Amino acid sequence: MTQNQPFNLPQHRRLGEPKLKFGSAEPNAVDEHPLRGLLEFGPFGNRRLASVANPIRIAFIGQNVMIGRLRKLMTELRGSHSPRERKQFLIDYPGFSRVFGVSISPADNVTTVVLPDSLDDDLRNSAQPQHTLAEALTSAIMSLRAHLHAFDVVVLGLDDSKWSHCYHGVGEDDFDLHDHLKAYAASAGISLQIIRGGQSQRALEYFCRCSVMWRLGIAIYTKAGGIPWALADAVPNTAYIGIDYALRPGADPDDRFAICCAQVFDSDGAGLEFIAYGADDLLVQRRNPYLRKDQMLKVMSRSLSIYQRRQAGMMPERVVVHKNTEFKRDEIRGCLDAFSGVKDVELLQVQRSHGWTGVLFNKPREPHSYPSHRGQVLPIGEHEALVWTQGIIQSLNQGKGWYKEGKGIPTPLLITRFAGRGDFYDLCNETLALTKMNWNNDGPYTQMPVTLEYADVLAQVVKRMPHLEPRPYPVRLFM
């Protein structure tokens, strides 16, 4: 009988946890832990002159009782809180001004929009309550356009206990209240923070106030124009671009067209802006749209101009493009033509769904009590590799190990290169680092790199915008 023997997987590597940089320019002002780094060194935005207003002024929208709850929430943001969950990762929250170096306060009374209590009766009597609520809330948002100079962020309160049946369309009605409100607010140049209450898992009732304050504080600081942290070890003069698509709702299958969103980051991984491009006459396979060469050329050329405009006209030495579907031949040609003046162009497909998984074993037939480690890389072809962006992180919990997801087997990302010549492990390490750059959460990472996390959100929101203009949009308006 042949006994099981351990074998090394060819070319398998385990990458270290990427570091982030913060408000101090000192070489040692880096940390793997985003919250700890914020507290010790301040936000990265402090390096940029007058990047955020002080104080950050908050406008409010909601019914009378909700307005009171939202104001109390802003008062909580100024206080200190200790963690009651995720204690292996979450640290004490000492107050907004202590973390971000700026204060937060209510804006003038003219920026408080009180919704009538009669709105509840209107919703009960409406044949399409989701659209009745959307109209009331968008009207409230648009009424603030005349006072843009008086506030920085709008906080809008939704009561799940009364309105949750209005958040989505019924049947074939492709309606999403969150995306609808974000679209209209962004079109007006308004940064919108939606707060939901009425259930124990929502911000107003959630039992761990420390968790709520970290998450909400980072979100409001970012939506006011701040940059919490950036990548510490990014390749200089690199532009990172994420592409995603969304099909316009309600269009005839023969006439439907896609909204293509390309988001641009600089070499720090700090978000710049994005462009949205409406394209018809598309190749659509299994509901995945693909661009013609001229369409991809236009999208990438506009993306490149965003980077150059923010870098005093300088051309990047390197461009990395992420997409969650394969690059068709015409799309590759369009990218390479757009970046003809760039030395190194990397085109990467990053897939979340595939047939691969992996389990950690102590010895043959004896699975480990923990799942796989985050940062593992397993090449499965010359231009393909599996990268575990989820899993155990040893370094964040004094070497004891911490698994963010808490249960389940983490699925690796499948990365496939369609163009480029750089070291493939370096590309995997960059992808891993970009999972730490989503400022819309307080965790140590997300599964997907931020290039695709944000591009997906942007595409879903932008397809609902009343007017799609051919201009760059600040990312913070859509978070």
pLDDT of the residue at 414: 97
* Nearest to 16, CA basis, from 436, 449, 462: 436
Task: Specify the pTM.
Answer: 0.91
Tell how far CA 437 is from the center of its chain: 8
C-alpha 45/C-alpha 371 separation (Å) is: 36
Start and end residues for every CATH 3.30.420.10 domain found in the chain: 233-478
Start and end residues for every CATH 3.40.50.2300 domain found in the chain: 52-223
Contacts of 438 (CB under 8 A, 6+ apart): 446, 450, 453, 454
Low-confidence ranges of the chain (pLDDT < 70): 1-8, 49-50, 200, 248-259, 269-272, 280-282, 397-399, 468, 470
Q: What's the farthest any 2 CA atoms get from each other in the chain? A: 82
Return the CATH class of domain 52-223. alpha beta
pLDDT of the residue at 477: 84
pLDDT of the residue at 6: 53
Using H for helix, E for strand and C for coil, what is the string for the chain?
Answer: CCCCCCCCCCCCEECCCCCEECCCCCCCCEECCHHHHHHHHCCHHHHCCCCCCCCEEEEEEEEHHHHHHHHHHHHHHHCCECCCCCCCCCCCECCHHHHHCCCEEECCHHHEEEECCCHHHHHHHCCCHHHHHHHHHHHHHHHCHHHHHHCCEEEEEEEHHHHHHHCECCCCCCCEHHHHHHHHHHHCCCCEEEEEECCCCCCCCCCCHHHHHHHHHHHHHHHCCCCCCEECCCCCCEEEEEEEEEECCCCCCCCCCEEEEEEEECCCCCEEEEEEEEECCCEEECCEEECCHHHHHHHHHHHHHHHHHHCCCCCCCEEEEEECCCCCHHHHHHHHHHCCCCCEEEEEEEECCCCCCCCCEEECCEECCCCCECCEEEEEECCEEEECCCCEECHHHCCCCEECCCCCCCCCEEEEEEECCCCHHHHHHHHHHHCCCCCCCCCCCCCCCHHHHHHHHHHHHHCCCCCCCCCCEEHHHHC
Q: What is the CATH number of domain 233-478?
A: 3.30.420.10
Number of Cβ within 10 Å of residue 427's Cβ equals 19
Decide: 464 and 263 in contact? Cβ < 8 Å: no
**Residue 104: C-alpha distances to residues 22, 62, 340, 401 (Å):** 20, 19, 46, 35
C-alpha 123/C-alpha 103 separation (Å) is: 37
Tokens 């190749």 belong to 283
Tens-digit pLDDT profile for residues 405-451: 888 888 999 999 999 999 999 999 999 999 999 898 888 999 999 98
Tens-digit pLDDT profile for residues 11-49: 888 999 999 999 988 988 999 999 999 999 999 988 876
pLDDT of the residue at 270: 65
